[in-house]
Structure 1
């Protein structure tokens, strides 16, 4: 049996939130997360960095991104978020940012990853124009029989945290939905942006949204009134997070994890060996 493909994901990194501070809080959180990924056995096959790579879109912070991710033992695929700037990104990553949009295809182990660009200048929420739709239509037409995962920053789903919600009636969501309609090779959508781990069904496709390495958005489902500040928590310093997307050749399974230290209550030793043996014995052989 071929080993599953393991795709790691980090998102909403926001380097440069504290300009000029080489030891800023967001960099510490990123380093802790990348450290956890590089200690995995087996290592991930690749890493997705799904937007808001920097906080202010400046070239200096992109240089820090390049340095922070440099030397990892697996390739990294980047995409644009609403805090990013395509021109400054391209000045540091010219291999990816040489056109109007940062979108491209990465094929690995029989799986096609299509990275799309949902950055809309001047807007916090997503964007997906007719030019981007035409590009994605062409990419999907190239390989209709190849399992495909779409990688993007903004989720097209309404998650319930009202101040961060995507409205399903937004033009960009409707354009994106129409573009992928009928393309059965699309097996999943991987996103960031919400600073929380969320999964949802949308247009018959599972959307997996990874929590951030930067501080998280507080989980609050109550309605919000922009004219009535109610002192609700909005940003919390929960541990930095990442996701592991496991492709077994037929389905994508997403696991969420944090990069903090875990208290170990049991290890695989002689006391746990009978349980492991009995569980494995229940499964078909071969």
Structure 2
């Protein structure tokens, strides 16, 4: 099973411009995923779909952009999203005031979480949302389950963005997840950079953005002393592919770029390809 992930799309960053940079970057990623062989079985869109949470038009444009894909797409909320506009456009993915829901993906069960607090940039996850996840995990304790949400609940070491690993919502999420060995992985966005770590005893894979990327900077930053360091860089738009083998989840990070081709599968490469295939079979 193959699951595509895109995140941090930020449609509407240039209000009134239907050909904005973020839309062009999104379209490039969708074209790549739509032409892929094998094709993904589904796609997760893990938050910050709109740049402004009250921009209903951004959700409409996102739906238009993804409507041509040959696989279903599932939206999640991030800190730039607004629940009212999101719920108005995606009512099937909202219940009890939150955008939390289940995806029955055949060999995998996917639980999409709502980590939005509309009053802050970082994540949040209250007792009501925790109770929902606890109930869902208790329903099928043996079934392989993937958890998806926007905010990584870890301190990633980045100078500009990250999370307090001792925050109450982080501890709450950890306490709910830790007892469940059937959680095969977690996927998130928010940081505009790709990274892999562990949380609550399982893999956490963070996808880079389709919008421009956060500069890789692990130094400290003084909010009172602007020092001209790079903050946002225009790396090629990104996506992730999560491959469920039946035993484990394997994550690949991809970008849309015109990379030079240094080798093709021709008669010169055939002996190596044949050898590697034989070794895999044995």
The TM tier, using the shorter chain, reads over 0.9
Where 2:29 maps in the other structure, the secondary structure is: helix
Report deviation, 1:98: 4.5
CA contact (8 A) 1:149 1:187 kept: yes
Partner of 1:270: 267
1:140 to 137, 142, 146: 137
CA contact (8 A) 1:195 1:216 kept: yes
Stretch of structure 1 that moved more, 122-131 or 154-163: 154-163
Partner of 1:195: 192
Report deviation, 1:162: 2.6
CA contact (8 A) 2:94 2:101 kept: no
Distance 2:280 2:93 in 1: 44
1:32 aligned onto 2:28 = yes
CA contact (8 A) 1:6 1:46 kept: yes
Deviations 1:227-274 (A, max 9, x none): 111111000010000000000111000000101112111100111000
Runs of 4+ aligned structure 1 residues displaced above 2 Å come to: none
1:11 to 7, 14, 36: 7
Distance 1:283 1:88 in 2: 49
Distance 1:44 1:283 in 2: 23
Distance 1:214 1:170 in 2: 27
Partner of 1:99: 96
CA contact (8 A) 2:4 2:242 kept: yes
Stretch of structure 1 that moved more, 58-67 or 266-275: 58-67
Distance 2:25 2:44 in 1: 17
Partner of 1:163: 160
Unaligned runs of 5+ in 2: none
2:116 to 102, 108, 119: 119
Distance 1:211 1:281 in 2: 35
Where 1:187 maps in the other structure, the secondary structure is: strand
Partner of 1:52: 48
Unaligned runs of 5+ in 1: none
Partner of 1:257: 254
Distance 1:51 1:68 in 2: 16
2:222 to 208, 225, 236: 225
Stretch of structure 1 that moved more, 101-110 or 212-221: 101-110
Distance 2:101 2:94 in 1: 10
Deviations 1:115-138 (A, max 9, x none): 000001111000000000000000
1:216 aligned onto 2:220 = no
Distance 2:33 2:22 in 1: 17
CA contact (8 A) 2:160 2:221 kept: yes
2:176 to 175, 179, 192: 179
Q: TM-score, normalised by structure 2?
A: 0.98
CA contact (8 A) 2:178 2:201 kept: no
Distance 2:30 2:202 in 1: 29
